[in-house]
Amino acid sequence: MRDLNGDAMGVPMQQNIPAGDFPILLVEDNPVSRRVLEKSLAKAGYDVTAVENGQEALGAFQSRFFPIVLSDWLMPEMDGLELCKAVRKMSLPGYIFFVLLTAKDSKNDIIQGLNAGADDYLTKPVLQAELMARIRTGVRILELEKSLKTAVEKIEVLSVTDPLTECYNRRYLNEQLPQEIKRARRYRRALSLILCDIDHFKKINDTYGHAAGDLALKAIVRRLTASIRKGIDWISRMGGEEFVLVLPETEFRFALKTAERLRQKIASKPVDLADTHLFVTLSFGVTGFNADTLKKDISPDKMISKADHYLYEAKKSGRNRVLGDVF
């Protein structure tokens, strides 16, 4: 779900980038020119798909993404300029390096092509060496864009991740719980929330040290994560030794059963610390709403507050237990 290996997020300098990683869409209405260009690119190791005009090119994007487009300017049905404008308006998974192939070589023509969204141009007849040089330039730009996108994604993941336990953090909870409530209400689905807290955690830190406490926190989160539905349920660290489990499309009665199952699983197996095996228990407060019990005043704060109330009651009545109530 998330890459937390601590890899450096700077943009690497790529060498010998595999040509096959960047498939090319060749758009050329002249069959002889299309065949010559296709063979040249394929010989250089590029994965090439060739079509006759702009309409066919747009159709090709319906089944595959092409990060590089080489398009003739003058074509029937849809010319290269119109194709470039249409491509720039599409919602695509990445940037497209667009090269116009044209006999037009005046400055006004070049400016017109660049203003339409083209990245580069080649005048016909196309020279093999120049074609390959322009394509390599495009590949370098695309690799840079890919690296920057990856770096941004890593930063975003880290910004919503608790660095110790690697579950989500409070920011993610604040952003996503309102969306879960909104989605459940819109589609009339159930939604449940479990708040849990490690019993006597201060004693663990005082007796075994904070490093041991950190090991316990990580071990508990691993067990909780392994016991919920992957890609559906999620866990956030509220702070300290307190965690929130959000269970979409889960009725309250099933959330109670889930919390009890988690309680038993945690309590039945000791946590491995550096020098000892320590049995740890959790207390749980559970709440939620079902499809037939939706209320207008349900909010993230009210859900958390209600779960927190029952967590407090569970602590007060002896710990290592599950209490809760539906909205």
Half-sphere exposure of 318 (CA within 13 A, CB side): 4
Q: Is the pLDDT of residue 65 over 50?
A: yes
pLDDT at residue 13, rounded to an integer: 37
Tens digits of residue pLDDT in 169-213: 999 999 999 999 999 999 999 999 999 999 999 999 999 999 999
Q: Is the pLDDT of residue 15 over 70?
A: no
pLDDT at residue 30, rounded to an integer: 93
Which of these is catalytic: 38, 56, 143, 241?
Answer: 241
pLDDT at residue 4, rounded to an integer: 33
More confidently predicted of 196 and 114: 196
- Given a contact cutoff of 8 angstroms between Cβ atoms, the answer to whether 169 and 160 are in contact is yes
pLDDT at residue 6, rounded to an integer: 34
What's the pLDDT band for 20 if we cut at 50, 70, 90?
A: low
Q: Is the pLDDT of residue 103 over 60?
A: yes
pLDDT at residue 164, rounded to an integer: 96
249 catalytically annotated: no
What mean pLDDT is predicted for residues 75-90? Answer: 92
Least confident of 198-212, 222-236, 284-298, 309-323: 284-298
Q: Is the pLDDT of residue 19 over 60?
A: no
What mean pLDDT is predicted for residues 46-56? Answer: 94
What's the pLDDT band for 8 if we cut at 50, 70, 90?
A: very low
Tens digits of residue pLDDT in 118-170: 999 898 888 889 999 999 999 999 999 999 998 998 999 999 999 999 999 99
**Domains of the chain, each with CATH number or no CATH:** 19-158 (3.40.50.2300), 170-326 (3.30.70.270)
What mean pLDDT is predicted for residues 206-232? Answer: 95
pLDDT at residue 107, rounded to an integer: 77
pLDDT at residue 110, rounded to an integer: 80
More confidently predicted of 35 and 293: 35
Q: Is the pLDDT of residue 11 over 50?
A: no
